Structure 1
Amino acid sequence: MQWFVHVFQQYPELAIFLTLALGFAIGPLKIGKFSLGTVTAVLLVGVLIGQMKIDISPNVKSVFFLMFLFAVGYSVGPQFFRGLKKDGIPQMVFAAVVCVLCLVFPWICGKVMGYNAGQTAGLLAGAQTISAVIGVASDTINQLGITQEAKTNMINAIPVCYAVTYLFGTAGSAWFLASVGPRLLGGIATVRQKSKELEASMGSGDESGEPGMMPANPVISYRAFQIDNDWFSNGRTVQEVEKYLQDNNRRLFVERVRVGKQITDLQPGTVVKRGDELVLSGRRDAFAGESHLLGPEVVDDELLHFPAEVLPVLVSKKGVGGMMVKALRQQDY
């Protein structure tokens, strides 16, 4: 056993990657309905392997910590700023209240339990799942006017306390919000009713967005037609077809074209003529009575089998704010 510990002490990088490997292997495992999750599993495995008294270079700690913060910020940052644009003031007030409470309660617990600064910082970081506290607390402790040994003991206690309390910070919070929180708000039935009312006020009150459900009347439709109109006798480009439809109060867009027996790559200058097939997309009401403009609708599984991309659009141009959708459609973007 000693040689095993000695290898990790001599080559700490092996301990790091072993921690990651075991954490990723254990995290997805379930006991009944409970699972640790990858992050919690890696932290707990790190606590166990850390009992071998493995010294990790401060530079390595900083690099991995910065990588972790970058990953979190990269995934959460855009959502945060989008949220501020919608209802910024309430969000800022709520964030300020949460920050104060998250700092005060761990400090009180640390005082009552007799924890030192490192243990209290680990409690704060893990219970609130705020990883940035680790780096900030370590730098602050290094600036204290105490012995180097006391600093080292405090700093080493931070990740241990963080890993232990992180479990409750995640699983405990989920349990509290799912079980205790609804009771404080009048019971689960009341919370469900209020949630439905809120969803309805935000335009998503139906169950079509639930897992296993889909809207029976989708807003956007995709349909295939065989061109059989004299207007196409001499051939028309895709751009001309879309303008032709819009001039007839049909805001539809050409998505795919079958020329002869081959489905071709679509370009604005692609020419279609009588006998060809094309796929149109648009709102369902725009398809009402349009067959005389093109030709009969056809069932073509191959032509209609293609992925449709959903893209969120952020309005950032000042002149667009407050403009009606009808006016937006007439803009040249």
Structure 2
Amino acid sequence: MDVLALLDDPLILIFVILFLGSLLGQWSIKGVSLGLSGVLLVAMFFGHFGYGISPLIQNFGLSLFIVSVGLQAGPRFFRMMKSSGIVFGILATCIVVVAVITTVIVSYLLDLSAPLSIGLMTGALTSTPGLATGLEATNDPIVSVGYGIAYPFGVIAVVLFVQLFPKILKVDVEKDVDRKVRPGGKRGAPQSMTIKVESDAVHKKTLKELRLDRNNSVVISRVVRGERTFIGRNDTVVLKGDLLIAVGYLGDLRQLRDRIGSQVKGEVDYTDHLLLKRITVESQELVGKSLRELNLRATYGVTVTRIERGGFEFNQSATWRLEEGDILTVVGSEDHIQEIEKLFGKHEHEETNVHIMSLSLILLVGMFIGMIPISIPGFGTMTLGVAGGPLFVSILIGHFGRLGPIRARFYQPATRVIRDIGLVLFLAGAGTTAGEGLVTVVMEEGIRLVIGGAVITILPIFLGFFIAVKIFHLSILHSLGALCGGLTSTPGLGAVNSITERDDPAIAYAAAYPFALILVAIAAQILAVIL
């Protein structure tokens, strides 16, 4: 049997590329790996020898990938726009703007074509959505060549920077975080503190009358009085000598402690009929609703103290809109906890609970919007296209969670499955198409491509870090986390996490990432017009 002849079958070719690409992506050197971008490199190899993937498969994968990205970014994007986390959004914007300006300068100085320049920028920023948008905007497979050349350097440069720069500066990153406050005064993960009430000013006041301002993260989960324990409700009366079990960010907890009494160290010995339980959001009826709308304290007599999403833990917020798979830490009596478990749906997860009708409608509406011409004074007319249109619509619908019959929040592992399948199909198609001219382009452009990609990577890294530390006065860890988010570098975040056990970098990354994700895609379309 002729093995090479089997590759003429499109289905076999796809799975061979996916297998070899994922195998290559798993190889790690000093903790650095290509991940799913290994599929792109393998596909380019096959493309050089004349093998090709149908454009239909490529566009199908692109559509799935872009929509899953938008659905994941939507809930966080608009919430960050309204919160103190906007600082991280501004930082991500600065990084992308610097990258765009650098790309324009490099393009003119090195006389590179627009598709190659866009590919270098998206590779330097390790942004696959940017690659997708650039390919769609230019309709030129050479974009993938630029991406494939710049991507490895983009990954390695960020990882080396975040690991080496703190050592070069000789900064103790742990102490640096303690000295500096993240925007909004909230640092690290939510913590618990037991506070003894000693102030006459709060004696016989209700918890509501403590008047914690709306930006304060503290939640009083329990009030302990002798051998009795009360749930922390707005109408719960506080007396001198009571112990308050409070959950929140450390700065806010200390502020409350200094105002009403003193901290009780160690374990508190008391009889507690209240339970603390982690409950997973499973009910579709609750997806997209906020904690304020559910009003769990008044209706069910329970308090939500923390929320976990995607492996990250956050302090509860009344405006937080639920997604399927969110894990709530809830305090209440046993019978009330049981009611809450029924409310949120106490059953086994289904990994593939994707709502096909909703997914199809989002794609259709997005594609229609992507066809609408947008006039840019001085630059002509552009469209969002089959990448930008679905991205815009999925972000918008992802924010609300549900619009009429359209459901936009699926169980998170299911969304990741959609994203990864779409991504590898898109990369397989884009890679084989780009591989046809890979050797020719590299031989003609040579060292210019490597230099261009390096410059587009290095300048945003150093300028972004300078802006974070010197202008926004962020800690080193927050600066590095936001830098990785602004460069959409997940390997970079992994490198930051290797130098600290704190979750501050991950929080900064999560705040900056959605902004960069969207802005790079928009920047790729703008560059296609102006270069």
Q: TM-score, normalised by structure 2?
A: 0.36
Counting only pairs closer than 5 Å after superposition, residues 185-264 of structure 1 correspond to structure 2 as 187-189=169-171, 191-198=173-180, 202-204=186-188, 250-251=229-230
Question: Using a 3 Å threshold, how does the CA distance of structure 1 residues 189 and 39 change in structure 2: closer, same or farther?
Answer: same
1:311 aligns with 2:293: no
The residue number in structure 2 matching 1:40 is 37
> Which residue number in structure 1 is paired with residue 327 of structure 2?
none
Q: 1:316 to 1:189 in 2, by over 3 A?
A: closer
Superposition pairs for residues 131-150 of structure 1, below 5 Å?
131-142=128-139
Matched, 1:121 2:106: no
Q: Which residue of 1 aligns with 2:83?
A: 86
Please report how far the alpha carbon of residue 64 of structure 1 lies from its aligned counterpart in structure 2 after TM superposition.
1.0
Question: Matched residues in 2 for 1:113 and 1:51: separation?
Answer: 25
Structure 2 residue 17 is matched with structure 1 residue 19: yes
The answer to which structure, 1 or 2, has the higher relative contact order (CA under 8 A, 6+ apart) is: 2
Distance change >3 Å, CA 114–CA 157, structure 1 → 2: same
Residue type matched to 2:118 in 1?
A
Query: SS at the partner of 1:87?
Result: coil
Any stretches of 5+ residues in structure 1 without a counterpart? 143-154, 210-214, 221-244, 254-281, 295-303, 318-328
1:130 is matched with which residue?
127
Q: Which residue of 1 aligns with 2:153?
A: 168
Aligned AA (1:169): G
Q: CA deviation at 1:96?
A: 3.3
Query: How far apart are the structure 2 equivalents of 1:219 and 1:161?
Result: 52
Structure 1 pair 53–121 and aligned structure 2 pair: CA distance change class (3 A): farther
Cα distance in 2 for partners of 1:192, 1:125 equals 33
Q: Secondary structure at the match of 1:251?
A: strand
Relative to structure 1, is the Cα distance of residues 140 and 72 closer, same or farther in structure 2, using a 3 angstrom cutoff? closer
User: Does the aligned pair in 1 maintain the 2:119–2:143 contact within 8 Å?
Assistant: yes
Letter in 1 for 2:186: M
Q: Which amino acid aligns with 2:17?
A: T
Match of 1:230 in 2: none
1:61 equivalent in alignment to 2:58: yes
Which of structures 1 and 2 has the bigger CA Rg? 1
Instruction: Render the CA deviation track for 1:97-151: whole Å, top value 9, x for unaligned.
Output: 2232121212222333332222112111111122233343334334xxxxxxxxx
Q: Tell me the SS of whatever aligns to 1:34.
A: coil
Q: Contact 1:128/1:169 (CA < 8 Å) preserved in 2?
A: yes
- Tell me how far 1:247 sits from its aligned partner: 12
Secondary structure at the aligned position of 1:124 is classed as helix
Preserved CA contact (<8 Å) 1:103 1:124: yes
Secondary structure class of the residue paired with 1:189 = coil
Give the letter aligned to residue 124 of structure 1. Answer: M
Over the aligned positions, Cα root-mean-square deviation in angstroms equals 4.3
Per-residue CA deviation, residues 135-183 of structure 1 (Å, 9 max, x unaligned), is 43334334xxxxxxxxxxxx22111221231122222212123324764
Aligned residues: 228
1:16–1:158 Cα change, 3 Å? farther
Q: Deviations over 1:27-60 (max 9, x none)?
A: 33334x2331422322222222222222322222
Taking structure 1 as the reference length, the TM-score comes to 0.54
Deviates more, 1:105-114 or 1:80-89: 80-89
CA distances 1:260-317 after superposition (whole Å, capped 9, x unpaired)? xxxxxxxxxxxxxxxxxxxxxx9498974548x99xxxxxxxxx9x974463544129
User: 1:108 aligned to 98, 105, 110, which one?
Assistant: 105
User: Which residue identity does 2:126 align to in structure 1?
Assistant: T
1: distance between equivalents of 2:187 and 2:105? Answer: 43
% identity of equivalent residues: 21
CA distance in 2: counterparts of 1:4 and 1:109, whole angstroms: 44
